[in-house]
Amino acid sequence: MKKFSFMSKIKLNNAPKKMFLLKQISLLLATAFVLVFAVFAWFAGGEGTAKATGIQVTMTANNNMLISLNGGSDFRPAIDLMAEDDQQYISPENAIKDLLYMRDITSDGLSFFRPEFLDNDSSTDRTPDPYKSWDAAGDNSYISLSIVFQTANPSNIYLSEDTSFITSAEKSGKLLSSNESENVGNNSEFGKAETGFFSNDCIVGALRLSAVNSNNNLVYVYIPRKDIEMTKTITNGVTSYAVNTGSENVTNKTSVHTYYKSVNSTSAPYYILEDSADVVDSLGTNPRPIATTTLQEGGSCQATATINIWLEGCDPETTRALSKGQYSIALDFTASPVN
């Protein structure tokens, strides 16, 4: 936005001219204020931007396993990442309290990008511009946790099926409603009587989780809430939204992780859409170990893995119809001795 500069080259020896100039300056000041306020409102309102707040994150370990979020200095059976009392057990690179600002980004589970969008795109679904350079996503726009696991014997470490992603609206039984908007918690202004009312918390359907081993290799991408799907229809130029839940109502697309992939080019940087081949549908079916503890000099067995959690911008749930969602993330780890 252009800056307004007011030069003080004004002669005030003529009263009519003085009044005219003062009026012109007042008009320019008013115009500048309107423009500045409009730009601020665009950013603050999050036009076309999905973001989530009110997030709680906890971690628990089972089978006599302990976990550390400060590089192995302190091992504990459970850590609440948002609790004041547990901050002393969390290293700065793992701290998310008061910093977390989850917004729509795109990732293969290892690299995280914040797309640049087409300049003329004013639709409800913004279109990324693949020929612009995209910056890496900010550290506080997604969750990345480097975890040290400790066991008594060499063990495979798993993220267990008891891991949960539950919305605040679900806890009160007010996620969706087909009749009254008052029956929905954290109600989205885009829910209508003809399509059903829904909560902003449905943004949880766009959450993705990736597990990365100590060699920085992707173990898998997990879609924790594939039971939530937003659909959009356009009739006579009018856009409307609806949210479906439950495996019997959603399409197979909810089980596919689509993301933007960087492509090498001699002419310009560009990105293409790709589907991940490393998606797991369930943490309890054919589980993949995210780490294997081995014997250390101190006598205990340890291993390290990274868990990333983000809002995938390619998912239909990251339109501006869902914003400021609230949910709880409970990461539950289990260990199985190596035979």
Q: Of 29-38, 56-65, 320-329, which range is least confident?
A: 29-38
Grouping H, G, I as helix, E, B as strand and the rest as coil, residue 232 is strand
Best CA proximity match to 188, nearest among 169, 210, 213: 169
Q: Does 44 score more than 50 pLDDT?
A: no
Q: What are the residue ranges spanned by the domains of the chain?
A: 14-45, 50-337
Q: Exposed/middle/buried for 76, CB within 10 Å: 0-12, 13-18, 19+?
A: middle
Q: Does 177 score more than 80 pLDDT?
A: yes
CB under 8 Å to 70, separation ≥6 — which residues? 89, 90, 91, 94
Is residue 47 very low, low, confident or very high in pLDDT (cuts 50, 70, 90)? very low
Round the average pLDDT of the chain to a whole number and report it.
83
Q: Which pair of tokens denotes residue 260?
A: 């933007």
Residues 156 and 292: beta-carbon distance below 8 Å = yes
Q: Does 122 score more than 90 pLDDT?
A: no
Average pLDDT over residues 176-184: 93
Q: Which residues of 301-311 are buried (b: 16+ CB within 10 A; e: fewer)?
A: bbbbbbbbbbb
Distance separating alpha carbons of residues 6 and 314, to the nearest angstrom: 45
In percent, the amount of the chain with pLDDT more than 90 equals 59
Is residue 131 very low, low, confident or very high in pLDDT (cuts 50, 70, 90)? confident
Residue type at 196? G
For 218-243, the pLDDT digits (tens) are 999 999 999 999 998 888 888 889 99
H or E, element range at 302? strand 301-312
Q: What is the DSSP letter of 98?
A: T
Q: Which residues of 158-191 are buried (b: 16+ CB within 10 A; e: fewer)?
A: bbbeebebbbbbbeeebbbbeeeeeebbbbbebb
Residues 128 and 105: beta-carbon distance below 8 Å = no
Residue 19 or 133, more confident: 133
Is residue 128 very low, low, confident or very high in pLDDT (cuts 50, 70, 90)? confident
| Residue 126 pLDDT | 67
| Residue 255 pLDDT | 92
Q: Does 42 score more than 90 pLDDT?
A: no
Average pLDDT over residues 315-325: 87
Residues 272 and 263: beta-carbon distance below 8 Å = yes
Is residue 320 very low, low, confident or very high in pLDDT (cuts 50, 70, 90)? confident
Distance separating alpha carbons of residues 191 and 243, to the nearest angstrom: 9
Best CA proximity match to 256, nearest among 229, 217, 234: 229
For 187-199, the pLDDT digits (tens) are 999 999 988 999 9
